[in-house]
Structure 1
Amino acid sequence: MKRFVVCIAGALAGIVASSGAMADPSFPASLDSKASPFMRVYGPSQAPYGFVRFCESNPQACAPQRMEDVRFQPTPERLSELDEVNRWANHVIAPATDQEIYGVSEFWTYPVDRGDCEDYALLKQSVLLARGWPKSSLLLTVVRDEKGEGHAVLTARTAQGDFVLDNKVDDVRLWNTSGYYFIMRQSYLDPRVWVSLDINDRTAPDAIAGVREPH
């Protein structure tokens, strides 16, 4: 489907200035597939430029509300909601680049009928918040995908593990079966703050600096 290719490196541009989830067979198994189902924070990170601009236009969406350190304990019904919302958004929104829609290279917003990867993630976050999910569990996340390109997904931080809601794949998966290289995500304590992720055998700040450069 077209949504496999439309979300390009824009997710990284401007940074310098019981689960029931199954891995999609079209993706290689992650090198971290035996790692913990819970992602760990490495340290602070600079928020993507598109996200900063989004918060300027949508301050309420970025305001801390019900942010909790304790992981959300989902019921089976709640976990099924992740799958339902992921599939719904993937099929109701047509994939298109920011350049095609807005004439700019990077623009984070809630999609109406078309959008790219971060727009899908924002929509899923909004829908799940409206359904009663805590804000501390629904975190915008930046990765490098199977092609090494910048990509944005929504991760659901739960007591069962960290699940990935991805516009490329309808199945909701644990992060360590996604095949992606995880770079940064929103802090679960303050959605305006972004943190780098300690899940790729990083041992020095230089490793972080290398992935911060614009694509």
Structure 2
Amino acid sequence: MCGNSLRILARCSRRLDRLLASASVAAALSVMAGAAAPALALPQWATRGSGDALASVGAAGPTPAWLAFCAQQPQECAHNPSEPDTIVLDQSTWKTIVDVNEQVNKEILPVTDQDHWGVADRWDFPDDGLGDCEDIQLLKRRRLTQAGLPQRALRMTVVIDEIGAGHAVMMVRTDRGDYILDNKRNAVLSWQETGYRYVKREGSDSAAWVWLGNQAAPTVTAAK
């Protein structure tokens, strides 16, 4: 009697162990499934309204280095008036813009024109992996146009940065406002979030530039 009871208890114990193990596995799988599917964070452009564009206040002369660049690379300055001057921003386009900004920032080592070319100011593509701010933005623009974005909506822009120095960024004009691609950060920010003062930018036609009135971004966001 005693032996039969021990065998029954042993079988019950093994069965209970299997049930507990199964329950533990199920619980673990449930937790893993929850961890593998977090809530999708909305991109910045999807969380605010449209119309946050930076208005120009008149014509401005381009820099001499830009004119020299246009003479050497006329296709980079000849905007097609049939192209839209703003981009309809959706999830796919936003991802392309963010990816290109980050990829080029990783690829190109920032150096001054003096160290790179031996001159104070030169605008060119950083095909050797070296370049300063404007060279890096020119490469981003070329990558984005190759991805199908209209060049007319991608504007080279001159700003005063957080330390009071001249700096070049690229402004992407969209139906949800103007966004800035910058070699100082991987995050693509609206123009209001950069902390910069906006001096002038490439126009929508030919090699003309427009004056931005030294407008200040109202909100400073730390570089990322």
Taking structure 2 as the reference length, the TM-score comes to 0.71
1:153 aligns with 2:169: yes
Deviation at 1:21, TM superposition (A): 3.8
Pairwise CA distance, 1:77:
0.8
1:46-61 equivalences in 2 (<5 Å): 46-61=61-76
154, 157, 171: which one aligns with 1:138: 154
Question: What count of residue pairs does the alignment treat as equivalent?
Answer: 169
Of the candidates 74, 77, 85, which is equivalent to residue 62 of structure 1? Answer: 77
Gaps of 5+ in 1: 1-18, 23-35, 202-215
The DSSP-based 3-state class of the residue aligned with 2:195 is coil
Code of the residue aligned with 1:179 in structure 2: it is G
SS in structure 1 of the partner of residue 88 of structure 2: coil
Q: Is the 8 A contact 1:163 1:175 kept in 2?
A: yes
**Which of 122, 147, 153 is 1:107 aligned to?**
122
CA RMSD, Structure 1 to Structure 2 (Å):
1.8
Q: Which of structures 1 and 2 has the bigger CA Rg? A: 2
Is this contact kept in 2: 1:67–1:135, CA < 8 A? no
- The secondary structure found in structure 1 opposite 2:215 is coil
The CA deviation at 1:103 is: 0.6
Aligned to 1:171, the other structure's residue is in SS state coil
User: Does 2:63 align with 1:40?
Assistant: no
What CA distance in whole angstroms lies between the structure 2 residues aligned with 1:200 and 1:69? 25
Instruction: Give the structure 2 partner of residue 3 of structure 1.
Output: none
Q: 4+ runs of 1 displaced by more than 3 Å? A: 66-70
1:80 aligns to 2:95 (yes or no) = yes
The answer to which structure, 1 or 2, has the higher relative contact order (CA under 8 A, 6+ apart) is: 1
Structure 1 191/77 Cα, relative in aligned 2: closer, same or farther at 3 Å?
A: farther
Between structures 1 and 2, the one with greater helix share: 2
Cα offset for 1:198? 4.6
Check the 8 A contact 2:84/2:150 in 1, yes or no: no
Structure 2, unpaired ranges of 5+: 1-41, 46-50, 217-224
Identity among equivalent positions (%) equals 35
The aligned counterpart of 1:172 is 188
Provide the secondary structure at the position in 2 that maps to 1:148. coil
